[in-house]
Amino acid sequence: MSSVFGSDFMRLALLTGLVVGGVCAYFGVHVVLRRIVFVGAALAQVSSAGVGLALLLNWNPALMSLLMTLGGVAAFSAQARDRRTAQENFIGVAYAIASALAVLFVAKSAQGEAHLLDVLSGNILTVAPSQLVWAAAVCVAAVVLHLAFHKQFVFTAFDPETAQTMGVKVGAWDLFFFVLLGTVVALAIRLAGTLLVFAFLVLPALTGLALSRHLRWIYVWAVGAACVATVAGLVASFRMDLPSGPAIVACSFVIFVAAWAVGKLRR
């Protein structure tokens, strides 16, 4: 293990994976419980389209990705109040269009398609220390804000009718949640890529749900599963010469399958 993380870039990759995995796993619990997994996928693709547009126009990718994602957040938040099938249709269209634009923008950029794999699969092995520091600071701040208003988020998400009758502004809290989620997704994708971020939003949360029914322990299991998958994936990537992002996703899936089997045996 020490030989794998003996170099500076591998230690930085490990720290990046732990930050991205931990934060995305935390928010992923609410993404899964709210049954808005497809929203997470769509936001990831919208963020990727922002990166592609920035490469095409030679602008700041982080800023453009964040702006595009926040635009998607505003639209998805408005649609979240509509419980009809139209909401799913809207998200499906946004996902398809954003996916296509991400590929087209990158393909026509001056850097060419060399950046396409990093946009989609990510490469945490090439993250700069300064890039990680400010992104981690913002992501941790998002988690702190979510924890500070945790009761309000849970109440408005899982019992919106009662909250509405009590005078709580459900729409405003939904928008607040989506802004935090969108910010985390946009910054995480710049560090780790669309594939890894989306996997961290879903698989660790499902692992937590397979092992516990108490929200506090679901958080613990989810964040722990993301961290274990990061370490195992980087070790597998180093020893077997595999792409780091897909290797971490594969390990995260193995952990989920194991947790699902343990959960079935308990019942």
Determine contact, residues 66/202, Cβ cutoff 8 Å: no
CA 99 to centroid of chain Cα atoms: 16
Determine contact, residues 16/191, Cβ cutoff 8 Å: yes
Q: Which residue has the higher pLDDT, 113 or 61?
A: 61
Tell me the per-residue pLDDT of 37-81, one tens digit each, with 9 for 90 and over.
888 778 878 887 887 787 778 777 777 877 888 888 777 766 555
Query: Domain 8-266, what fold?
Result: ABC transporter involved in vitamin B12 uptake, BtuC (1.10.3470)
From residue 18, how far is each of 39, 225, 266 by CA, in Å? 23, 10, 29
CB under 8 Å to 119, separation ≥6 — which residues? 48, 51, 52, 102, 106, 189, 193, 194
Decide if pLDDT at 35 tops 90. no
Residue type, 231: V
Q: What is the CA radius of gyration of the chain?
A: 18
Instruction: Show the tokens assigned to 220.
Output: 């613990």
Confidence of residue 82 (pLDDT cuts 50, 70, 90): low
Determine contact, residues 65/47, Cβ cutoff 8 Å: yes
83-92 mean pLDDT: 64
Q: Where are the domains of the chain?
A: 8-266
The pLDDT assigned to 242 comes to: 87
CB under 8 Å to 110, separation ≥6 — which residues? 55, 56, 58
Q: How many CB atoms lie within 10 A of CB 57?
A: 12
225-253 mean pLDDT: 92
The pLDDT assigned to 53 comes to: 82
- Tell me the backbone φ, ψ of residue 58, rounded to 5 degrees: 60, 45
CB under 8 Å to 153, separation ≥6 — which residues? 30, 146, 173, 176, 177
Query: What percent of the chain shows pLDDT beyond 90?
Result: 31
The pLDDT assigned to 211 comes to: 93
Decide if pLDDT at 85 tops 90. no
Tell me the per-residue pLDDT of 127-171, one tens digit each, with 9 for 90 and over.
888 888 988 999 999 999 999 999 998 888 888 788 888 888 888
Confidence of residue 119 (pLDDT cuts 50, 70, 90): low
Mean pLDDT score of the chain, rounded to an integer? 83
Name the pTM for this structure: 0.85
The pLDDT assigned to 21 comes to: 95
What is the rounded distance in angstroms from the CA atom of residue 126 to the CA atom of residue 240?
Answer: 18
Q: Which of 114-128, 130-144, 211-225 has the highest mean pLDDT?
A: 211-225
Confidence of residue 86 (pLDDT cuts 50, 70, 90): low
